[in-house]
Amino acid sequence: MQRSLFARQPSVLVFISLLAVFTIVITVLSEGFGLGLVSTSFVKILGKTLCLCLVAIAMDLVWGYCGILSLGHFAFFGLGGYMIGMWLMYERTKDIVIASLAGAELPPTAEEIREGIGTQIFGVVGGSEIPVVWYFADSLFAQLALVVLVPGLLALVFGWLAFRSRVTGVYLSILTQAMTLALSLYLFQNDSGLRGNNGLSGLQNIPGLTHLPQSVVSVWFFLASAFALGAGYLVAAWVVSGKFGNVIRAIRDDETRIRFMGYPVEAYKLVVFTLTAVIAAIAGALYYPQAGIINPAEIAPIASIYLAVWVAIGGRGRLYGAVIGAATVSLLSSWFTGGQAPSIPLGFYTIDWVDWWQVLLGLGFVLVTLFMPKGIGGLFDRLVRKDAA
């Protein structure tokens, strides 16, 4: 009667295998560990893309399966990035300060070091005091815990308030956008304690590993991202493949009915919302060390909307759909907006893709919604059906 996860979801095995092959190939081709055919910057792009795929899985879980169109999951992604960024920046600055004070006649006191760090980090926002939110910034372990705890608690409290008031549908979407906007506006302020619009930078330099070249570090992060994506995919597949998955799909399709069957709908929503917020935060914590910088613009409401677009294009309610959507659109986006796409001269006008990519994306979104409501992932259904016939 009871079948294993792979038997219930054959696509999981296919996905994990493909991910493993892809990871090995890129590692072998990388500059840091092999043939040097794939540049360090491209390894970083791929590693970041894997993180975006992971947050897309979270989005698919909350929207595609549970029917909660959250337009705020990128805020959790960003918060995860901030939490790990604080440790990266603090420790690295500490190393720099200690090195610069090393020439002095007397060994520096702890007070002097703290002051040096404060000036270094917060000089740009006109301060030298280390804000209280940085209290744990010297502990990697604490900041790793905060990667999970801060976005998790925010999602828990926000979700509890929203779901218990039975806020659903488009109203909930608006509420999540409001939360995202408020968070981003708060972080833009200089006295938020997180360096205002400067954000946190230099995150690609990993304290304690500065002797290693970026070509090596980039592969490590690429591997960590691939591992996280694989693990996240397995967790999500496990969650959606059992009875829990049936219940959240039932919540998506008819909330009232499942409530009258005795299922506490709000509790389920809260579990899914919080779990996906934590997955998003972990993805963010892996993404930003590869990006090197995080600032409040990353949390702008539009980022969360893009996330929904990726999942819609890739195919909601199927985990590989989310991955396909996030990978395709984000890679295309960086290709088009990175200036690599050749402009199209029309004589009277030149189509410059940096400007026109948005139009193309919007058009693609409309076309997918109209003609492929199941997204790109829906194409696989036809393949499978053809095989069966």
Partner 1 sequence: MTALLEVTSISVSFDGFKAINNLSFEIGGQELRAIIGPNGAGKTTFMDIVTGKTRPDEGRVRFGEPQLDLLRLSESQIARAGIGRKFQRPTVFEAQSVRDNLMMALSNDRLPFAVLGYRATAKDADRVQALAAEIGLSGELERTAGELSHGQKQWLEIGMLLAQDPKLLLVDEPAAGMTLGEREHTTDLLRRAAETRAVVVVEHDMEFVRRLDCKVTVLHEGSVLAEGTLDHVTANSDVIDVYLGR
Which C-beta is closer to partner 1: that of 117 or that of 239? 239
The torsion region of residue 67 among left (phi > 0), alpha (psi -120 to 50) and beta comes to left
Buried b (16+ CB within 10 A) or exposed e, 184-212: beebbeeebbbbbeebbbebbbbeeeeee
Q: Does 250 bind partner 1 (CB under 8 A)?
A: yes
| H helices present in 123-213, as ranges | 140-164, 169-188
Stretch that binds partner 1, among 5-13, 182-190, 248-256, 352-360 (CB under 8 A): 248-256
Q: How many residues bind partner 1 (CB under 8 A)?
A: 25
Q: Does 246 bind partner 1 (CB under 8 A)?
A: yes
What secondary structure letter does DSSP report for 30? B
| Cα-to-chain-centroid distance, residue 105 | 47
Q: Cβ 236 to partner 1, closest distance in Å?
A: 13
User: What backbone torsions phi and psi does residue 372 show, to the nearest 5 degrees?
Assistant: -135, 70
What secondary structure letter does DSSP report for 38? B
Residues 329-368 that bind partner 1 (CB under 8 A): none
Which C-beta is closer to partner 1: that of 213 or that of 242? 242
Q: Does 305 bind partner 1 (CB under 8 A)?
A: no
Stretch that binds partner 1, among 174-182, 242-250, 288-296, 333-341 (CB under 8 A): 242-250
Tokens 């590692």, residue?
27
Q: What's the rounded Cα separation, in Å, for the pair 78 and 151?
A: 9
Which C-beta is closer to partner 1: that of 57 or that of 239? 239
Q: List the one residue from 53, 58, 187, 258 that touches partner 1 (CB under 8 A).
A: 258
Q: List the one residue from 247, 297, 341, 360 that touches partner 1 (CB under 8 A).
A: 247
| 286 and 83 Cβ atoms separated by less than 8 Å | no
Which C-beta is closer to partner 1: that of 98 or that of 271? 271
Q: Going by C-beta distance under 8 Å and a sequence separation of 6 or more, which residues neighbour residue 303?
A: 74, 77, 78
Contacts to partner 1 by CB under 8 A: 1-2, 239, 242-244, 246-247, 249-250, 253-254, 256-265, 267-268, 271
